[in-house]
Amino acid sequence: MKKFLLIFTVILPLSILAEGDDWSHYGKDSGGGHYSKATEITPENVKYLKNIWTHRSGDYKGGANSAGRKGDDYQTSFQVTPLLVDETLFYCTSFNRVFALNPETGEEIWMFDPKLKKEGRAILACRGLSSWKDLKKSPDEKCFHHIIGVTIDAELFSIDAKDGQLCEDFGNNGRVNLREGLGEHPDLYYWSTSPPAIINEKIVVGGSVIDNLSIDIPGGVVRAYDIRTGELEWYWDPIPPNEATILDENGNPLYRRGTANVWSIISADSDLNMVYLPTGNASPDYYGGHREGLEEYSSSVVALNADTGKLEWSFQTVHHDIWDYDVPSQPTFYEFEKDGKTIKALAQTTKTGLVFLLNRETGEPIFPVEEREVPQGAIEGDYVSKTQPFPTKPAPLNPTYFDPDKAFGFTFWDRGHCKRTAKKLRNEGLFTPPSLEGSIHYPSGVGGNNWGGPAIDPERNIMIVNTNNMASLIVMVPREDCGKPLKELSINKTQERFTNIESNEGAPYCNLRSMGFFSPLGVPCTEPPWGTLTAVDLNTGDHLWNVPLGTSKDLAPFPFWWIKGAPNMGGPTVTASGVIFIGATSDHYLRAFNTETGEELAKFRLPTGGHATPMTYKNKNGRQFVIIAAGGHWAIGTPASDHLMAFALPNE
């Protein structure tokens, strides 16, 4: 009987195997989308959801400044979207431990601990895991079902979904060292947080690099490993086409340092046999005078052949990116009809708030993209691209110019402070270059849009995306002045408490970075709403609706809780019944919205910010659950925690 079942399983098309309600990829499907066919929860009954269970791992730590990089001065951000496969829920913690849970009760089945070295890592996070079944084995064999993950220690691991034990035939006793070929570097300089893509029995994985410490950082190579053995199958070194990767005396690759990395979610299309990479910008973020040959594929969407790693096409969203406007989110698949043909497309959200809709076979824009002139005048030693690409549709998801006359504050006093400060700085709209006097970057380096990415309802062909409408301040400091105290370098005393000094070793400038432009009372100087949720019709490129997301509760003291639209980090999920689920906001809620109208249907209190993308599934009895990780985020100022929470309708 087992042999018959195995043969039957092997000959079934993979598409049929995936038709259940499993959430087997980070984005539900290998091309993202965060879309579930579950319909038990509707716009009419969603308000009755209750917290059914909560799992806590104990893996969190807060209180460190985001620049803290010494000793045990680290903090966590619980960003995971779990997987649901064969009635088991799998998730990773901020310490890279993996838990298998009963999806109905939250009861632990097993736990895997990679023994992470936590000290000196600044921020610890894990966004998700990957799942793969070895159809050459029977279900009762060891490592029939693999759970695959990455760690802050830059390791790739494969464990058995039945018991959490390492698959010893994979790599070195279940692990692969992702630092190989990257050259000497401190552990702090390279790590992994995003789940790998799985295609053609290969694991495709990128990595993260530290921002603004040095120009001499590990390269942004993307590699594919045999999913059974962990052997390197191919690599893509993001260097110009006329250059070749250097090999050592044993023929092993030595990847070029300082190239654009792939820190976010990779998509895979098995029908087209391609993987799609969202690339970062070459380091450091705000100076690029040294980057010759390093940014051919910077801040781009890159499509590779899944068998060979050879380039199929690339599309650059920002030329010579000196704003930290890297591509932060998963290239998300959708399809639509045009001239009687079905077009395979992808939606790419960006930190600028511009959305690029591309043909995923060719990389050609669905709607025209125009090269428009942008502000000029770089600091000495650098340059600015004369033009930047702007899609004609959709319209930007957020404003692109900070108007000092519309500066915000709770009082006449702090509003005046914002206005006066803004008028001292370079402020020419989107793509204002970094400067010695200080520049307003709007949107800020956290977006616009960030790694939460969009959700797409394929039946309605509607894209849902959350956006930040906040500015950041950047001051470039000549190297000879970089040792001066912050109070001598910063724009004013108010901004000192929001500002980090970043060394940029090897560059002629360090920089001050304030991730928010704040009033003396600690509120954004930008006009509310500070966060929005937007629906885009993917057939026409038009905005359908745009509503504030969240409130100033938990951000501002009482009685200033009335402001609509909060800073946010995370992403949405959509269901076939027309319900959007999203946490993300600085106020501590999970919210539900109507997909077609944008109406807020319900909200549910969380113990801290839910800065992860929720997921949803049906259990074997048809009961629908919604899961969100509530663990805070340093960039939003919400307290760290470790709550994985399940919501469902009460049993009758």
Indicate which residues carry an active-site annotation. 324
CB 584 within 8 Å of CB 571: yes
Sheet containing 155-160, strands listed edge to edge, beginning at the edge strand earlier in sequence: 130-133, 145-150, 155-160, 175-177
d(CA 329, CA 81): 14
The alpha carbon of residue 507 and the mean position of all alpha carbons in its chain are separated, in whole angstroms, by 27
- List, in order, residues 6 or more apart from 292 with CB less than 8 Å away: none
- Tracing tokens 């789940």 back to the chain, one arrives at 195
Locate 468 and state its tokens: 């930040």
* C-alpha separations of 279 from 136, 301, 387, 505, 552 in Å: 34, 6, 20, 22, 33
d(CA 533, CA 566): 10
Q: How many CB atoms lie within 10 A of CB 200?
A: 14
Burial of residue 89 (CB within 10 Å: 0-12, 13-18, 19+) is: buried
Q: Which H or E element spans position 10? A: helix 2-11
Percent helix, percent strand, percent coil in the chain, to nearest 5: 5, 35, 60
CB 302 within 8 Å of CB 518: no
Q: What is the DSSP letter of 167?
A: -
Instruction: Pick the closest to residue 590 from 565, 607, 567 (CA basis).
Output: 607
- Strand 600-605 and strand 589-594: the pairing is antiparallel
d(CA 617, CA 624): 5
- Tracing tokens 């959350």 back to the chain, one arrives at 466
CB 80 within 8 Å of CB 612: yes
- List, in order, residues 6 or more apart from 267 with CB less than 8 Å away: 27, 30, 31, 32, 197, 275, 276, 330, 331, 332, 333, 346
* C-alpha separations of 369 from 249, 401, 524, 598 in Å: 46, 20, 32, 28
Length, in residues, of the chain: 652
- List, in order, residues 6 or more apart from 485 with CB less than 8 Å away: none
- Tracing tokens 């260097």 back to the chain, one arrives at 239
The span from the first CA to the last CA of the chain, in angstroms, equals 39
Locate 607 and state its tokens: 């113990």
- Tracing tokens 């009895």 back to the chain, one arrives at 621
- List, in order, residues 6 or more apart from 607 with CB less than 8 Å away: 588, 630, 641, 643
In degrees and rounded to multiples of 5, residue 53 shows phi and psi of -150, 160
Q: How many CB atoms lie within 10 A of CB 553?
A: 17
d(CA 213, CA 365): 35
Beta bridge partners of 604: 590
CB 572 within 8 Å of CB 455: yes
Q: What angle do CA 127, 142, 90 make, to 5 degrees?
A: 25
What does the CA dihedral 586, 589, 595, 600 come to, rounded to 10 degrees?
A: -100
Instruction: Pick the closest to residue 265 from 95, 33, 78 (CA basis).
Output: 33
